[in-house]
Structure 1
Amino acid sequence: MIVKEKESPRPTDAMGKAGYEAEKQMAFFLRRAFAESPDVMVFNDVMYQRNGERAQIDHLVIHRFGFVIVESKSVTGTVEVNEHLEFVRKSGGRRSGMRSPIEQGRLQAQLLQDLLNDAKESLRPKKLFGKVQPYFGDERFTVFVAISDQGVIERNGANPPELMKAERVVKEIVEKTNRYQQTQGVKGLVNFLAAGKEKTKELEEHQVAAFTDAEMESIKAFLTEQCKATVTAKRPTRTAVAAKAVTAEKPVREKKEVAAKQEIAADEAGGASPSGFKCGDCPSTDVEILYGRYGYYLRCRACEAKKTVPQKCEVCGSKAKLRKKGNRFFRDCESCAAPVLLHCNPVSAENV
């Protein structure tokens, strides 16, 4: 059963598009395998929140015995994992480290587990005449990392069972649920009696009670509502967006007005500079901005020392452009649209 399809819009940047396609591919594999299964529920692209923390899960699969978190990764080259479980991307002859997707999935699983246990009384009724409250234990949560078709996995000294190609994930989920099934009822008892030491250990790891139909429905309804509530809380209202725009616009408008007054004042003052620039090699403040092979630079007219002109906006710290008007230089920032009168060259300066 597909409870939630992937609904997020396709990104426009290259990396976002690749990630989107990897998630879409995994969603296709899950739909093909479980769309008509009454015992498996699939949530694609969901987000949950607990105590101010958020977990965004690419694919969440709920089966009769637990939960599978699938983290999709788009890899066009090679992803390498070493004996320390450190991950490296290799593409086009370049190597770059990456955050462990296994740890990322485990953190998502932990938040989901805590969220479910917060509501365990309403999701799982008490047993043994109302004396024992079932909860959601660690043994019910599994993490898989799905590498897209075009990617290559290089296991350099480590072979984590969570890491696999996307097309393998469905088979692993089916095999996982089958191992749980082998511990149930009379058949499970027979399997325990006939098992050797290693097989007994495996059976014990999967010896959990199956969720009832009522519990499955309660879990589905709960997680659906939690996802909706998280998305609603994340999305700002139109009023809030408008208020933020007005608040942001005010200082920008004020800065533009100040810049216009600065231009007029500079004309009236005959070119006095507000910058406070001074030479770094000598105490002189007799400096000018000139244009050279690599762009604008600051030159001391006393000792001929040269240095680059800072490129950051004084208002927001973003990278800004230098604009020349006569002997005056303004800093224009595209991020906050705040022009600043930066420096006035001495009238005798020769600018090229």
Structure 2
Amino acid sequence: MILKTKTPQNAQSAQAIAGQQQEQNVAFFLRRAYKDHPQVLVINDFKFRFNDEVAQIDHLIVYSYGFVLIESKSIRGHVKVNQQGEWTRSLSTYQGKTDKWQGMASPIKQVELQQALLHQLLKHNSGEILEKMFGLNQGFGGRCWHHLCAVSSDAIIDRKSMPKAVSDKLIKSEFLVEKLNKVMNLKGKYLRLAYLADTRPFFNQEELESIGSFLIKQHIAPKTAATETSKVATSETTVPLATTPLTSTPIVMASVAITEPAQQEEADKSQIIQIVLRCKHCGESTNYTPMYGKFGYYIHCKQCTKNTPMKQACPQCSSKNTRVQKQQEIYTLNCQECGCGQRVV
């Protein structure tokens, strides 16, 4: 599933434009491969802050066994890495021979720093993200962590003198999905039956949803020109529209009302659309139990004993491209088109 697409940027320089194109190419391959995969969550262009440090991950994959971070690099010439892990790239070629080279920062070291900060963020918030097991808080220990560097498909990679550890992580864009499938080693659609022989600890579907919801809320959205203009033109402090979905609880409803949240912890958390839940069979709106099954989240009515799916069209824009997410005991219907979040009460 694609939780976040590539954020458009106003690139000016040729290098920035090439870099943005490379990220879009990688995002395209990831979308084609995993947009309908329930066990793979993709977050493109993810920027977050933790412990006074900021990191930006080009592509983050959360899957049943762990995490994969992908750094995109636009390298159209030759690229070499020596035994000390130092990178060089070609600048020009004359009559088939490369005559100018330039050192460059190691994208592998860069993504390793991003991975370390992400691990700290998740570990610090594990009690909020993961459900308890046998009364104890779970952590992220034992989960699989991988990182890769995806370079332009027309790059020329000199693998003869390159350390194997680096070569294994350096992938051309068109081979990225093949490499990811080997790294993730997913067994099938149904976890319990397929993973009996696998000793790796895995996240169940609810935990995956919770992790994805938590990370999306951590994303630092870029400031746009329209936002800056609005701040200058307004003399009083205004509350902008929320840039990320806000968690709550969704389902089939009878009436819709706009309400203010009980407490606004931050100025950028605006109004939440709250939907009154009702059983579609008998109309009961209070005596039900939220549950999860083969086809997703639903409510089980205790009055008529029938089920009602949580997934529905967005009451804001009527789009059917919606997803239900759960964080602890809170459910949210998130629209992939208009970006709003609906709390069901």
* TM-score category, normalised to shorter length: 0.5 to 0.7
**Relative contact order (alpha carbons < 8 A, sep ≥ 6): 1 or 2 greater?**
2
2:5 — aligned with what? Answer: 5
Output the TM-score relative to the length of structure 1.
0.58
Query: Which of residues 140, 145, 149 is equivalent to 1:141?
Result: 145
Whichever residue aligns with residue 101 of structure 1, its letter is: P
Whichever residue aligns with residue 181 of structure 2, its letter is: V
Could you say if the C-alpha distance between residues 86 and 118 of structure 1 is closer, same or farther in structure 2, counting changes exceeding 3 Å? same
Aligned 8 A contact 2:3 2:43 in 1: yes
Query: Which of residues 153, 156, 162 is equivalent to 2:157?
Result: 153
1:119 — aligned with what? Answer: 125
Give the whole-Å Cα distance in 2 for the aligned partners of 1:185 and 1:77: 46
Aligned 8 A contact 2:187 2:194 in 1: no
Please list, as runs of the form range in 1=range in 2, the aligned pairs for 1:59-208 lying within 5 A after superposition.
59-92=59-92, 93-127=99-133, 129-131=134-136, 133-137=137-141, 139-155=143-159, 156-159=161-164, 160=166, 161-178=168-185, 207-208=199-200
1:50 — aligned with what? Answer: 50
Alpha-carbon offset, residue 71 of structure 1: 0.2
Aligned 8 A contact 1:76 1:91 in 2: no
- Residue by residue over 1:300-351, the C-alpha shift from the partner in whole angstroms, topping out at 9 and shown as x without a partner, is xxxxxxxxxxxxxxxxxxxxxxxxxxxxxxxxxxxxxxxxxxxxxxxxxxxx
Count of aligned pairs between the two proteins: 222
Could you say if the C-alpha distance between residues 209 and 36 of structure 1 is closer, same or farther in structure 2, counting changes exceeding 3 Å? same
Alpha-carbon offset, residue 150 of structure 1: 1.5
Q: Which runs of 5+ in 1 are unaligned?
A: 191-202, 243-352
Please list, as runs of the form range in 1=range in 2, the aligned pairs for 1:138-287 lying within 5 A after superposition.
139-155=143-159, 156-159=161-164, 160=166, 161-178=168-185, 207-227=199-219, 230-231=220-221
Aligned 8 A contact 1:59 1:70 in 2: yes
Output the TM-score relative to the length of structure 2.
0.59
Could you say if the C-alpha distance between residues 137 and 2 of structure 1 is closer, same or farther in structure 2, counting changes exceeding 3 Å? same
1:252 — aligned with what? Answer: none
- SS of the residue corresponding to residue 38 of structure 1 reads coil
Alpha-carbon offset, residue 8 of structure 1: 2.3
1:39 — aligned with what? Answer: 39
- SS of the residue corresponding to residue 111 of structure 1 reads helix
Identity among equivalent positions (%) equals 35
Give the whole-Å Cα distance in 2 for the aligned partners of 1:234 and 1:47: 15
Which structure features the higher share of strand residues? 2
Give the whole-Å Cα distance in 1 for the aligned partners of 2:213 and 2:8: 21
When the two chains are superposed, the root-mean-square deviation of aligned CA atoms in Å is 2.7
Alpha-carbon offset, residue 7 of structure 1: 1.8
Whichever residue aligns with residue 94 of structure 1, its letter is: K
Larger CA Rg, structure 1 vs 2: 1
Q: Which runs of 5+ in 2 are unaligned?
A: 93-98, 234-345
Alpha-carbon offset, residue 185 of structure 1: 6.5
